Structure 1
Amino acid sequence: MFHEGPSWMTEAMRAARSLTATTRKTRGAGHSVYVVLLRDPRRSDPWGLYVGQTSRDPDLRFDQHKAGYKASGAARRFGQQLLPDLVAHLNPMRRWEALDLEAALAEAFRAAGVPWVEGGH
C-alpha cells in the first residue's frame, strides 16, 4: 500500500471489512465503491480518505478526478492513490447498494478515527 502511512489505517481496514455487499456479483452488479488516499500537508494530520461510488472502473474514475472531470475538489487536489484493498470484498454490486455503502463506508471511517473523510454522499 504505502510505507509510512497514517496511524489509523489498520482501524480503517477493520471498519471497511465490517461491511458486506448483499448484491455482490449478482446480475446487474455493475457499480463499485472506491477509496482514495488523500494527503494535504497543511493539515496537522495530513492523511485522509475520499469515498466514492461509480459505474466505471475505479482506476478510470480516479484518473477522472485527477483530470478535473466531475471531480471532487479533495480527490483532485489531494488524491494520492486508490486503496482497492479496502473495498475489494464489496465490489461489484448493484447501484442502490453502492450508494448505501458509499455513505456507510464514510461513516465507518469516521467512527474508526480517520480524522479527515470526504465523499460518502
Structure 2
Amino acid sequence: MFHDPGPRWMDAAQAAARGLRATTRGTRRAGHSVYVVLLKDVRRDDPWGLYVGQTSRDPDLRFDQHKAGYKASGAVRRFGVRLAPDLTAHLNPMRAWEALDLEAALADALRAAGVPWVEGGH
C-alpha cells in the first residue's frame, strides 16, 4: 500500500510561520486565534495546500463548523483534512485586531515560503 508522505514544503511553511509574532498574545481580552487547515485535493498536481483563518471560537470547533457547512470556506468544507496547530500555537490567543492582521500576514508568508496553494487570509 502506498503511503502519502504529505506536503514536501511543510518545513518551509513552519519556518515562515515561526517568523511571525503576536504582540497581544496572552493579554487581557486576547480571545481570538489564527488557525491553519491542511487541505488535500487529489485533482491538483501538488494535492496539498493550506487554509488560513481567524476566529473568536476554539479552532477545533471552527474547523468542525467549516466541515458542517456553517459559515464555511468551500475549500475547507471539501478538502479540509485537519488543523495544523504547529503553525499557529506560538501566536494564540491574541486580540481581535491582531488576529485579522496576522491572518493576512501568515497567508502571505506561507505563499512566499513556497506553499503552492493557500486559501483564506483575508
Counterpart for residue 116 of structure 2: 115
| Unpaired segments ≥5 residues, structure 2 | none
Distance 1:85 1:117 in 2: 17
What is the match of residue 15 of structure 1? 16
Residue 24 of structure 2 corresponds to residue 55 of structure 1? no
Within 5 A, what are the aligned runs for 1:13-92? 13-92=14-93
Post-superposition CA distance 1:96-120 (Å, at most 9, x none): 0000000000000000000000000
Runs of 4+ with deviation above 3 angstroms: none
Map Cα deviations across residues 61-90 of structure 1 (whole Å, 9 max, x no partner): 000000000000000000000001110000
Q: State the TM-score, normalized to the length of structure 1.
A: 0.97
1:109 counterpart SS class: helix
Measure how far apart 1:4 and its partner are.
Answer: 1.1
Partner of 1:95: 96
Tell me, in whole angstroms, the C-alpha distance in 1 between the residues paired with 2:99 and 2:17: 13
Root mean square deviation of aligned Cα: 0.7
Report the number of matched residues.
119
**Secondary structure of the corresponding residue to residue 39 of structure 2:** strand
Distance (whole Å) between structure 2 residues aligned to residue 22 and residue 95 of structure 1:
12
% identity of equivalent residues: 82
Measured in 2, the distance between the counterparts of 1:58 and 1:21 equals: 17
